[in-house]
């Protein structure tokens, strides 16, 4: 798979400190702390587009806690547009607040907004991984050409996210197989998981190895799609070892039309 000639080959880090207010033009003047209880829903939404850093984060939290959902999406997009051109080296906290809030809303308008942001011409390299994380969190469907563009990015974090997003565009098997040969381990694992979720049985053995090495819900869901007797057995062993994964494993076992899978699930429920 070709890599973009201009892409930065260094792995991005979504946990790098975001830009400070002075980096992206947030207001720094001292203000009274925001009292969300003094504002009704309309006031919360109306305050978002022009909010400074402290208020933007607080208002975004209110959008989620009050379940304002679609009503807040236009205001969140306006706040995003205010900071267009900032976050070149590292994202502004206002930008991250918008992305996280849109991802948590999880409605069609919010997904459309995340999609517009991720596909925005001129979106900085620093912001793209965050936009793709938000897209993955709220299950945005991109076109296959767009996904393939990100699969050629020089940064492993972008390729990893692109392979995870590919589960909703059903790419050709050869693209997923190329991902399994990527030099970066996290990219190889993402390609393998997507292969499993799309029902490619050749991913089964690799997923079983991944279940033993790095068990998580994504691996469980991928394996359930290509399950056989060995997968059912390993699910039982994994549920014994990893209590936090047990509910996800039981759910997948019960969804299988298989008496043995049901028996394994019942064994844990009856404890």
In the listed set 140, 157, 187, which residue is the last one of a domain according to the structure?
Answer: 140
Those residues of the chain that have pLDDT short of 70 are: 1-32, 270-271
Q: What is the pLDDT of residue 271?
A: 64
Give yes or no: residues 136 and 217 share one domain.
no
The backbone region for 87, taken as left when phi is positive above 0, alpha when psi lies in -120 to 50, beta otherwise, is left
Expressed in angstroms, the distance from the first to the final Cα of the chain is 49
Q: Flag whether 264 is in a domain.
A: yes
Give yes or no: residues 136 and 204 share one domain.
no
177 sits in which H/E element? helix 173-179
Distance of CA 236 to the CA centre of its chain: 28
Q: Flag whether 261 is in a domain.
A: yes
Tally of domains within the chain: 2
Question: Rounded to an integer, what distance in angstroms lies between the CA atom of residue 268 and that of residue 271?
Answer: 5
- Residue 73: domain span: 1-140
CB 102 within 8 A of CB 112: no
Q: Flag whether 98 is in a domain.
A: yes
CA geometry: angle at 34 spanning 32 and 38, to 5°? 115
Q: What is the pLDDT of residue 168?
A: 94
Give yes or no: residues 11 and 130 share one domain.
yes
Give yes or no: residues 103 and 231 share one domain.
no
Q: What is the pLDDT of residue 31?
A: 56
- For residue 4 the two structure tokens come to 């973009």
């Amino acid at each position: 798979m070709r890599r973009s000639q201009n892409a930065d080959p260094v792995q991005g880090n979504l946990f790098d400190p975001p830009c400070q207010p002075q980096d992206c033009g947030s207001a720094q003047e001292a203000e009274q702390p925001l009292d969300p209880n003094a504002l009704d829903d309309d006031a919360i939404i109306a305050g978002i587009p022009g909010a400074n850093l402290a208020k933007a984060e607080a208002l975004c939290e209110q959008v989620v806690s009050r379940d304002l959902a679609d009503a807040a999406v236009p205001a969140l997009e306006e706040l995003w547009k205010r900071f267009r051109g900032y976050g070149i080296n590292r994202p502004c906290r206002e930008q991250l607040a918008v992305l996280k809030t849109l991802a948590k809303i999880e409605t069609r308008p919010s997904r459309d907004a995340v999609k517009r942001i991720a596909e925005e011409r001129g979106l900085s390299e620093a912001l793209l991984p965050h936009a793709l994380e938000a897209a993955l969190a709220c299950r945005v469907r991109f076109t296959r050409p767009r996904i393939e563009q990100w699969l050629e990015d020089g940064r492993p974090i972008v390729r990893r996210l692109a392979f995870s997003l590919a589960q909703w565009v059903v790419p050709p098997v050869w693209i997923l197989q190329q991902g399994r040969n990527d030099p970066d381990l996290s990219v190889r694992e993402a390609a393998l998981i997507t292969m499993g979720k799309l029902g490619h049985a050749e991913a089964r053995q690799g997923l079983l190895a991944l279940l033993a090495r790095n068990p998580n819900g994504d691996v469980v869901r991928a394996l359930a799609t290509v399950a056989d007797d060995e997968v059912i057995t390993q699910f039982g062993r994994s549920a014994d070892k990893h209590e936090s994964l047990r509910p996800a494993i039981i759910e997948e076992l019960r969804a299988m039309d298989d008496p043995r899978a049901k028996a394994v699930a019942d064994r844990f429920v009856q404890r």
